[in-house]
Structure 1
Amino acid sequence: MNNCYHLIGIVGDRTCPELAHFIHCRNCPVYSNIGRQLLERPIPENYRREWTELFSQTRAESDTLTNTETLTVVIFRLQREWLALSTGVFQETISPTSIHTLPHRSNHILRGLVNIRGELQLCISLTHLLNLETADTPVAALSPVVYPRMVMVEKAGSVWVFAVDELYGVQRFYQHEIRDNPSVTATNHNFAKGFFYWRGKSLGYLDEELLFTTLDKKVWR
C-alpha cells in the first residue's frame, strides 16, 4: 500500500511536488484511494468470531447485573396477609396512638388524624383499602414479640399513617425473585407488582406508586 504521505507528504519531508497544488495530502486523490483501500480490505481471519464473543460476554455481564439487583423492603402483616413495601417510603414506626375522627370525612379508608411529634397526619386503614378479610382466629406470628404498630410512609410530599398487626422488619430480595401475582386477596385490586416466596409464604410486593395515587384519589370521597 502506498504510504507516500508518510514519506514525502505532509507527515514526511514535504518534498512531494503535488503539495503545491493540493496544499494537504487529504485533498490528493492518491490519499483518498489509500483510505478507500483500508475500508475495502478483506476482513481478517477470526474477526467476526472475536467480536461475537466480545458482545456475548458484554450481554451476559449486563444480564447478570440486572438479575442480581437487590430490592430492600419492609415486611409487615395485615390480618392474615404478609406484605412488603419499599423501604424508601417508610419514615418511622410508632406505638398505636389515639385517632381523632374528622366530621363528615372519616370512613372505612380514612380513619382520621393522629398526632405524631406535634404534627397532625392523616391515618388510613390499609386493610380496608386492600379489601383484606378479617382474621377470626389467631395468626401464627413470625416476630419474637408481636404487638400492633403504626407506621408513617411518605412519597413526593404525600404522608399517610396506618396500623399494622405485625412488623417483621427489613429484608432484601433479588429482582429476579419477583413472581407474577398469585390469587390472593391483597392482589385482587392490582396493588401488588408481584410476590416473593418467603419463609414458605406468599409475600405480596405492593406497588407504592399505585398505592399513593389511589389514596390521594379515594380518601376524600
Structure 2
Amino acid sequence: MRPTRPSDVPEDRPRSEGRAIDDAYLDEWAEHFRAPLVETELADASAVAFRVGAEWLALPTPMLLRVAPHVVPHRVPHRTARALRGIVNVGGQLYPCVALADLLDIDADGGSARTGRHTFARLLLVQWEGRVYALPVADLHGIVRYAGARVQPPAATINKGTQRYLAGVVAEGDLRIGLLDAALLGPQLARTLR
C-alpha cells in the first residue's frame, strides 16, 4: 500500500491546516496542567488473605510456601495440643496441620462464602523458623498489596483471641482483613508440636 499524499486526499474532505484555538479550550488545559499531582501511596507490603470462619485474615507473603487442596488430617497419637489437628500428606511430604480457628479462638463454622465467587477450602503451607505447617482455611482471597502507612489498628470489637495476634487491619475492596503478626503467631505454631 502506497502512502497518501496531499494530492490523494479527496477534495470534499477538509484538510486540517492550523485552525484557531478558542480561549476556553486553552483555559481548560491550563487548569489541567496547573492542578497538583495526586500522590499515590506506594504499596510496600503484601500478605496472603484468607478466611477462617467469619474472619478475614492475612499472613505476610514471605511465610507462604504453597497453596494445596484441602485434605483430612490424620490424627497424631499422644498429642493433646488443641490446635494440632494431625498430619497431612501434601505432595508426598508430611506436615503438621494446625487449625488457626483453635489457635485464635475463632468459630470455624461461622462465616459464609462471598457472593459471585466459588469457595474452596484449602491448605496454606507456611514456614516459620525452618519448619513447615499446614493451615486449613475456608476460603482464599489471594495476595493483597498495601501501603504500610495505611494499616489501621484493630477495632476493639474484634475477638480477643484474635486481636492479640494482629499487627493491624487493611482494607481490600469491601473486605477488612486482619494482618497476623508473624513474630507473635510463629511461636504459637511451634508450641503446638511440643
Contact 1:90 1:154 (C-alpha < 8 Å) held by counterparts: yes
Cα distance in 1 for partners of 2:116, 2:160 equals: 21
Q: Which amino acid aligns with 1:151?
A: L
Q: In structure 2, what is the equivalent of residue 93 of structure 1?
A: 67
> Based on CA coordinates, which of the two structures has the bigger radius of gyration?
1
Tell whether 2:126 aligns with 1:153: yes
How far residue 158 of structure 1 moved from its aligned partner, in angstroms, is 1.9
Q: How does 1:4-83 map to 2 (within 5 A)?
A: 68=42, 70-83=44-57
1:177 to 150, 153, 165: 150
How far residue 193 of structure 1 moved from its aligned partner, in angstroms, is 0.5
User: Larger helix proportion, structure 1 or 2?
Assistant: 1
Q: Which amino acid aligns with 2:134?
A: V
- Structure 1 pair 214–199 and aligned structure 2 pair: CA distance change class (3 A): same
Q: In structure 2, what is the equivalent of residue 193 of structure 1?
A: 167
Q: How does 1:132-143 map to 2 (within 5 A)?
A: 132-136=106-110, 139-141=112-114
How far residue 77 of structure 1 moved from its aligned partner, in angstroms, is 0.4
Contact 2:43 2:145 (C-alpha < 8 Å) held by counterparts: no
Contact 1:186 1:204 (C-alpha < 8 Å) held by counterparts: no
Cα distance in 1 for partners of 2:164, 2:120 equals: 28
SS of equivalent to 2:62? helix
Percent identity of equivalent pairs: 27
- Structure 1 pair 78–143 and aligned structure 2 pair: CA distance change class (3 A): farther
Q: In structure 2, what is the equivalent of residue 56 of structure 1?
A: none
Q: Any unmatched runs of 5+ in structure 1?
A: 1-63
How far residue 69 of structure 1 moved from its aligned partner, in angstroms, is 5.4
1:104 to 78, 84, 103: 78
Q: Which has the higher contact order (CA 8 A, sep 6+)?
A: 2
Cα distance in 2 for partners of 1:143, 1:119 equals: 34
SS of equivalent to 1:150? strand
SS of equivalent to 1:215? helix
Cα distance in 2 for partners of 1:153, 1:140 equals: 23
How far residue 208 of structure 1 moved from its aligned partner, in angstroms, is 0.9
Q: In structure 2, what is the equivalent of residue 168 of structure 1?
A: 141
SS of equivalent to 1:163? strand
